Amino acid sequence: MTETATPADADVLHRLSFLDRFLPVWIIAAMAAGLGLGSVVPGLQGVLEAVKIGQVSLPIALGLLLMMYPVLAKVRYDKLDTVTRDTRTMVLSLVLNWVIGPALMFALAWLLLPDLPEYRTGLIIVGLARCIAMVIIWNDLACGDREAAAVLVALNSVFQVIMFGVLGWFYLDLLPGWLGLDTASVSFSPWEIALSVVIFLGIPLAAGYLSRRIGEARKGRAWYEGKFLPKIGPVALYGLLFTIVVLFALQGETITSRPLDVARIALPLLAYFAIMWGGGYALGKASGLPYARTTTLAFTAAGNNFELAIAVAIGVFGVTSGQALAGVVGPLIEVPVLVGLVYVSLWLRKRWARPE
């Protein structure tokens, strides 16, 4: 993200770089390219699926690492203590991510997919997997608080390792039983969840931290932020586009061959992203948080860890299962919706500084 304007700027959207300004075009093109490759290139899906570390796709991991490293290299780690002292943001994030988010997805899945148990289960799994990767990009594009994003993503990572299995048991087995609904007994591997956290957050976070420490120690902060960061900045969007191409190439044939199923799964996802994002903004504004921190709160609440959800669904139910398809449809809907919400956020940013 090359945009450095303040909230009082006349028009934030028009100050974006060429690459950032036309991001929806590049993303739509990447989605189309991935779907096309997955549908017309024989054996491509098998090749991509064969390159894995456990249940983690190596090409997807590479794309996410490229995407996250430049953003995490921008974080001023000496300012993280100011975020950790902001208990309002921390508490609101925990409530949104680990109380409201899973409960909302459970309600939407049962309300809109009562006759499709496999897709319903897949969506509930998506709701349990809180975002620790791609949200870094959305937050940065929307001019959110980078330091707050780093802290909240790390907090989500810790809770993900601890709570994913517990909440899976609660929302798939215990709560449906209490309500007289169909139950699903699912066991999650804590090691698989921990591996996802290490790969998708631990590696780029360590690389970003070391880059800043070493770069500033050798060349100074002015060189690091004025010379080094602008050079690596575009890599984040290249990594995002590469990740999207790979994701959609992996499931292109499945998605294009079952359009009605995709539409049914998309409806609760659309409602979920809109409600979580809007709720995050409403809570942040009501709590008196500034724009940047409110934006971080909203995007960390709305995003999901689709990498983990897909890996868990495939590992437990199989690659051709309805649960896996629901996980795959997650980024199909999330990517364009959250890109659109980035632009809505930038529009809100212009008005945040206006007198009430």
| Alpha helices per DSSP H over 185-321 | 190-197, 203-219, 221-223, 229-257, 259-286, 291-302, 306-317
121-125, 155-159, 318-322: range with lowest mean pLDDT: 318-322
DSSP string, 254-272: HHHH-HHHHHHHHHHHHHH
2-6, 83-87, 322-326: range with lowest mean pLDDT: 2-6
Q: How far is residue 267 CA from its own chain's centroid?
A: 18
Q: How far is residue 250 CA from its own chain's centroid?
A: 18
Phi, psi of 16 (to 5 degrees): -65, 150
Task: Give the best-scoring range by mean pLDDT among 32-46, 263-277, 317-331, 336-350.
Answer: 263-277
Q: Which own/partner pairs from 58-63 qualify as long-range (CB within 8 Å, at least 24 positions apart)?
A: 59/246, 60/243, 60/246, 60/247, 60/250, 60/307, 61/199, 61/200, 61/307, 62/242, 63/239, 63/240, 63/242, 63/243, 63/246
Bigger pLDDT: 306 or 188? 306
Phi-psi region of 43 (alpha: psi -120 to 50; beta: other; left: phi over 0): left
Question: Which has the closest alpha carbon to 204: 228, 159, 229, 236?
Answer: 236
Structure tokens that stand for 258 in this block:
């079952």
pLDDT score at 237? 84
In sequence order, the β-bridge partners of residue 304 are 130
Helix, strand, coil content of the chain in percent (nearest 5): 80, 0, 20
CA gap 25, 148 in Å, rounded: 29
Per the CB < 8 A criterion, the answer to whether 238 and 66 are in contact is yes
Q: What is the mean pLDDT of residues 46-51?
A: 70
Class of domain 16-350 (CATH, top level): mainly alpha
Length of the chain: 356
| Dihedral angle sign, alpha carbons of residues 9, 10, 13, 14 | negative
Q: What is the mean pLDDT of residues 225-247?
A: 86
pLDDT score at 212? 92
CA gap 222, 81 in Å, rounded: 22
Asked if the model's pLDDT at residue 12 lies above 70, the reply is no
pLDDT score at 142? 92
pLDDT score at 7? 42
CA gap 127, 107 in Å, rounded: 11
Structure tokens that stand for 85 in this block:
């002292």
DSSP state of 320: T
Half-sphere exposure of 195 (CA within 13 A, CB side): 17
pLDDT score at 295? 96
Percent of the chain exceeding pLDDT 70 equals: 88
Domain edges within the chain: 16-350
CA gap 301, 312 in Å, rounded: 21
pLDDT digits (tens, 9 = 90+) for 274-291: 999 999 999 999 999 999
pTM of the model: 0.81
Q: What is the mean pLDDT of residues 218-244?
A: 89
| Average pLDDT, rounded, for the chain | 83
Asked if the model's pLDDT at residue 5 lies above 50, the reply is no
| Reported confidence tier of residue 257, pLDDT bands at 50, 70, 90 | confident
Longest CA pairwise span in the chain (Å)? 64
| Reported confidence tier of residue 17, pLDDT bands at 50, 70, 90 | low
The amino acid that residue 119 corresponds to is Y
Q: What is the CA radius of gyration of the chain?
A: 20
pLDDT score at 19? 66
